[in-house]
Amino acid sequence: MTGKLPKDRILILDFGSQYTQLVARRIRELGVYCELWRWDVIETHILKFNPSGIILSGGPESTTRKDSPRAPDCVFQAGVPVLGICYGMQTMAIQLGGEVQVSTKREFGYAKVEVLQNSSLLLHDIQDEYSSDGMPVLDVWMSHGDNITSIPLGFINIAKTESCPFTVIENEEKRFYGVQFHPEVTHTRQGQRILERFVFHICECVSIWTPTNIIKNAMDSIQETIKNDHVILGLSGGVDSLVSAVLLQRAIGSRLICVFVDNGLLRLNEGRQIMDMFKSFFKLNIVYVLAEDQFLSALSGIKDPEKKRKTIGRVFVDVFNKQVLKFSNVKWLAQGTIYTDIIESAKTGIGASHVIKSYHNVGGLPKKMKLGLVEPLKSLFKDEVYKIGLALGLPYEILNRHPFPGSGLGVRILGEVKKEYCELLRYADAIFIEELHKANLYNKLSQAFAVFLPVRTVGIMGDTRKYEWVISLRAIQTIDFMTAHWACLPDKFLRQVSTRIINEINGVSRVVYDISNKPPATIEWE
């Protein structure tokens, strides 16, 4: 999947647990490269990947079902350490001759694990507290309905809980380990230390997956692939495309051509900021295309949110394609696809490397252009993209900007998009964001923005009656953007923002604050 892989690497076989991605992120946090593949990947791929260790993830199925997933046999014959987590531990037990039965009691949430064998390499000197008889005790997170009832030959039992007799098992000679709990979730307080023990002490990996090495690895791989060709990249202003651009430029210099399409739906001064930063600071070969009129006239009269999104996407493809056609020497199209996109869009393990992000809007490139796809971030998680962005010299403020939808203000102006509304909203949004920075609140929020409501309400300013538009403020906190809480911003702060918006923006007579969680409300209003 990647150019040159580090020698030390872990393979994670995914049995479908909601936490599998977390396992991968934890291993990467340790500075060790890992990849996540579906459990049924063919054996030759595993052998070719040549992992230093294999982790079998948890999964939603019951191993007691006859047709439930099993790890490929080569996992246990490759001569490398194996760590089975939850379902992964149970399938390992069954495949090696043990037994699993449906338990009468489902164990979900916190559990206390009593360690029975102090000598286990996996758990040695790792504990939260000690029991009255001096044995280590761990606070862990469990989620299982089945239990191992008999362990395979060669294994010993290392730990138990009240309702789970075999909570940690090991075969020291073969370096096979199983844990019924989830070490990858932070509720398991010593979880990261346990993973660290497995990766460093048992698999003997070295921590070399660092930003400097990641950058070097990516640059080598880009140079090897691109050779002397030219590459084109649609710069959206989002972190992934910005980091891809800087990385590619480091690797191939001015043979990277960036196209920045200003659709008129950007935040205040955003186009200028991006051009300044990339042209002057990073010396990028960048083409600025002002296409505001084209986007706004295509959006004229359209009220439906999905139609607006599609129109914005279509116009982007038209504008971008015209630019591509101008460069006859371009052989490659660069995209800021990241590892999460690949895992989530495909869930097909290896071979799933050609995923086009829908909001990149480049899916409509004419086939006759025959461009190859280059995705320099495709093996990186979002936090790794941030880290290498910083290492490449991208300013902290740019990297830590809240996400902004590809469809921009187009989905923050309810109903029809008009230039006049864009102007009002841009100013209101800029005031809100400026005040958040001043009050030191911006970095405490996951996303904050203003929304334009095309309804007129009455207000009085001095002796004059106003009958003008409404601005809603939205500020949320979230970990994954799948669910979100509205942020409880201080009264004084909200008063200041509202006063500034109404006083400074001609055309707004009322400001409201959105107090809806996701679900049921989405983060964007459209």
Q: Which residues bind ligand XMP (CB under 6 A)?
A: 309, 359, 403, 405-407, 411, 447, 481, 518, 522-524
Residue 488 designated active-site:
no
Distances (CA, A) of 369 to 144, 245, 373: 51, 21, 12
Assign residue 53 a region: left if phi > 0, alpha if psi is -120 to 50, beta otherwise?
beta
- Whether 446 has a binding-site annotation, put simply, is no
Q: Which of 244, 253, 254, 251 is nearest to 373 (CA)?
A: 244
The residue among 120 and 407 lying less far from ligand XMP, judged by its C-beta, is 407
CB of 505 to ligand XMP, least distance (A): 23
CB of 402 to ligand XMP, least distance (A): 8
Q: Per the omega criterion (within 30 degrees of 0), is the bond before 520 cis?
A: yes
- Per the CB < 8 A criterion, the answer to whether 248 and 233 are in contact is yes
Contacts of 129 (CB under 8 A, 6+ apart): 136, 137
- Whether 241 has a binding-site annotation, put simply, is yes
The residue among 196 and 429 lying less far from ligand XMP, judged by its C-beta, is 429
The single residue of 184, 375, 384, 526 carrying the catalytic annotation is 184
Residue 397 designated active-site:
no
The single residue of 34, 86, 203, 258 carrying the catalytic annotation is 86
The single residue of 182, 258, 384, 468 carrying the catalytic annotation is 182
E-strand stretches of 161-245: 168-171, 176-179, 230-235
- Whether 236 has a binding-site annotation, put simply, is yes
Q: Output phi, psi for 469, to 5 deg.
A: -75, 170
Report the b/e string of 346-374 with b at 16+ CB within 10 A. Answer: eeebbebeebbbeebbbeebeeeeebebb
Residue 184 designated active-site:
yes
- Whether 239 has a binding-site annotation, put simply, is yes
CB of 377 to ligand XMP, least distance (A): 16
In the chain, the N- to C-terminal Cα span, in Å, equals 36
Element (H, E) at 144: strand 136-150
The residue among 74 and 398 lying less far from ligand XMP, judged by its C-beta, is 398
- Whether 237 has a binding-site annotation, put simply, is yes
The residue among 99 and 416 lying less far from ligand XMP, judged by its C-beta, is 416
CB of 25 to ligand XMP, least distance (A): 19
Query: Residue 518's beta-bridge partner residues?
Result: 484
- Whether 240 has a binding-site annotation, put simply, is yes
CB of 159 to ligand XMP, least distance (A): 40
The residue among 216 and 444 lying less far from ligand XMP, judged by its C-beta, is 444
Assign residue 35 a region: left if phi > 0, alpha if psi is -120 to 50, beta otherwise?
beta
CB atoms within 10 A of CB 95: 18
The residue among 114 and 524 lying less far from ligand XMP, judged by its C-beta, is 524
Q: Output phi, psi for 84, to 5 deg.
A: -100, 130
CB of 522 to ligand XMP, least distance (A): 3
Provide the residue type at 440 as one letter.
N
- Whether 238 has a binding-site annotation, put simply, is yes
Q: For 5-30, give the DSSP string.
A: PPSSEEEEEE-S-TTHHHHHHHHHHT
What residues are annotated to the active site? 86, 182, 184
Q: Indicate the annotated binding residues.
A: 236-242
- Which positions make up the binding site for ATP? 236-242
